[in-house]
Amino acid sequence: MAADNTARLPLRFWIAALVAFVNAVGFTMIIPLVYPYAVQFGLSDFQASLLTTAYAIAQFIGTPILGRLSDRVGRKPLLIVSLLGTVAANLMAGLAAVAWVLFAARLLDGITGGNTAIAQAIVGDITTPEQRPKAYGIFGALFRLGFVAGPPLSYLAQLVPPLPGFTNLGMGFLLSAAMALLATLLCIVLLPETLENCCEKLQLSWQDFGLGPMVKSIHDPRFGRIFWLTFFSGFTFTIFTFAFQPFFLKVLGQNARNLAIMFAVFGIIGFATQVFALDPLRRRFPLVIILATTLAARGALFLIMPVFPNLVAFGLIAVVFSAINSFPMPLIDSLLSLKSGPREQGEILGLNASYLSISNALGPATAGLLVSISYFFPFWIAGALTLLTAWFALTLEEPG
């Protein structure tokens, strides 16, 4: 019976997954836009990197707040607020005439950027413990599928004659805002409230805006070590993601078009792996073992990548990496969901997203310093630290 329940995920899950997918497409559309758009404003490389840092720090602050509120007043209204924040932020960015508006837009998108954590809480609301590893695997796969659709749509948006007030790159932000608006409409029309006995009267206190829960969560016996694992995993991965682009463009001698193709390949392989491989593996092996093994494999691949600085070898290694890299985050989400109760999942997943956000703020800055030494150095550092992260993952307790 457990296997049958696992196979049939509820309809509400697929509606939430559709909302998340549409939002992911809009999010991934702007990934290849931020740096060249910043250059248009005359920003230096370091100043351009601060756009990523500003977004990540704002998301670090805002996501657990939205998560806590969703545990009290319901998932749906907070998800709508978060999506509308993305709509407004991308419109601001696309219409920006001066650099400070672009920074304000990234801050707004970050502070309201709790939509993924809230959507993950919805998955926890509507699935059984047996279903959650598969559900989070599919959820994560759909986010990766956004990487397949997002970069090509971003490129196509730049080919469209720009509307008044927009540049060619700004049109990418406009289309991203349209995708977020579509996700908002899908949420309003199709997605019911999933939190039982919710919808308390909205009463805010200073505690809702403080970082006290964040500090306390480090020492939480159920979740503290998992939060640390999220930080270490995200920190090492974002070192790689920043270093990957200059390595691909300058060491391998490729162009931005081939870079977009590589992102699409990553998305396709990651999507297929999460859909078809995650659930069979978690049926045969403990979640913690799968998590530690895939992190160790990720670290080894980081170390190998710069050893063969040619496109064919790098492409083959990247294919394996794309499959391996699709496991850690959905497994971490599953561990958190299985250890948390229905009235705390929004806050717990929001806190976890904040740890990921702060790692996303620190990782690129660290990689920027390492790249100044050598294009190869960030891969070696990320690989060594990821192997240590895999060892740390083995200290986690398997959920009962």
Report pLDDT digits (tens) over 327-371.
Answer: 888 888 888 877 776 667 666 777 787 788 788 888 877 887 787
Residue with tokens 């159920």: 222
Total length of the chain: 400
* Secondary structure letter of residue 98 according to DSSP: S
Which amino acid does the sequence have at 37?
Y
**Is residue 209 predicted with pLDDT exceeding 60?**
no
- pLDDT for 265 equals 79
Among 112-126, 155-169, 175-189, 368-382, which is the least confidently predicted range? Answer: 112-126
* Rounded CA separation 355/175 (Å): 29
Q: Can you tell me the distance from the alpha carbon of 113 to that of 23, in angstroms, rounded to the nearest whole number?
A: 11
Work out the average pLDDT over 192-197.
Answer: 75
pLDDT greater than 70 at residue 49: yes
Assign 150 a pLDDT band (cuts: 50, 70, 90). confident
Q: How far apart are CA 392 and CA 38, in angstroms?
A: 38
- pLDDT tens digits for 65-79? 777 777 777 888 888
Q: Quickly state the pLDDT bin for 91 (edges 50, 70, 90).
A: very high
pLDDT at 386: 96
Residue 389 and residue 240 in contact, taking contact as beta carbons nearer than 8 Å:
no
pLDDT digits 0-9 by tens, 290-299: 999 999 999 9
H or E element in which residue 230 lies: helix 224-246
Is the CB of residue 80 less than 8 Å from the CB of residue 193? no
What is the rounded CA–CA span in Å between residue 58 and residue 108?
8
Q: What is the pLDDT of residue 212?
A: 61
How confident is the model at residue 107, as a pLDDT?
92
The residue-averaged pLDDT of 208-218 equals: 61
Average pLDDT, integer, range 148-177: 85
Instruction: Identify the residue whose tokens are 């837009």.
Output: 105
Percent of the chain with pLDDT over 90: 18
pLDDT higher than threshold 60 for residue 201: no
DSSP E strands in the chain: the ranges are: none
Summary mean pLDDT of the chain = 81
**Cα–Cα distance, 49 to 35 (Å, whole number):** 8
Helix (H, G, I), strand (E, B) or coil at 159: helix
User: 3-class SS at 142?
Assistant: helix
Asked whether the whole model's pTM tops 0.85, one would answer: no
- Which of 127, 71, 164 lies closest to 350, judged by CA? 71
Instruction: Read off the pLDDT band of 203 (50, 70, 90).
Output: low
Query: Which tens digit of pLDDT belongs to each residue from 57-66?
Result: 887 777 777 7
Q: What is the model's pLDDT at position 257?
A: 65
- Topology of domain 2-189+214-393 in CATH is Growth Hormone; Chain: A; (1.20.1250)
Reported as a pLDDT band with limits 50, 70 and 90, residue 309 is confident
Dihedral angle sign, alpha carbons of residues 25, 323, 252, 359:
positive
Q: Does residue 224 register a pLDDT over 80?
A: yes
What is the spatial distance between Cα 20 and Cα 337, in angstroms, rounded to a whole number?
Answer: 18
CA neighbor of 382 nearest in space, from 277, 288, 306 = 306
Token readout for 371 is: 């790249």
Q: Is the pLDDT of residue 206 over 50?
A: no
- pLDDT level of residue 382 (50, 70, 90 thresholds): very high
Structure tokens, 362: 């620190």
Q: What are the structural domain ranges in the chain?
A: 2-189+214-393
Q: How confident is the model at residue 197 (pLDDT cuts 50, 70, 90)?
A: low
d(CA 20, CA 69): 19
At 5 the pLDDT is: 45
Q: Considering only CA atoms, which of 145, 99, 136 is closest in space to residue 13?
A: 136
Q: Six-digit token pair at 27? A: 């999010």
Q: Is residue 323's pLDDT more than 60?
A: yes
The phi, psi pair for 246, rounded to 5°, reads: -65, -35
3-state DSSP: the chain helix, strand, coil percent, rounded to 5?
Answer: 80, 0, 20
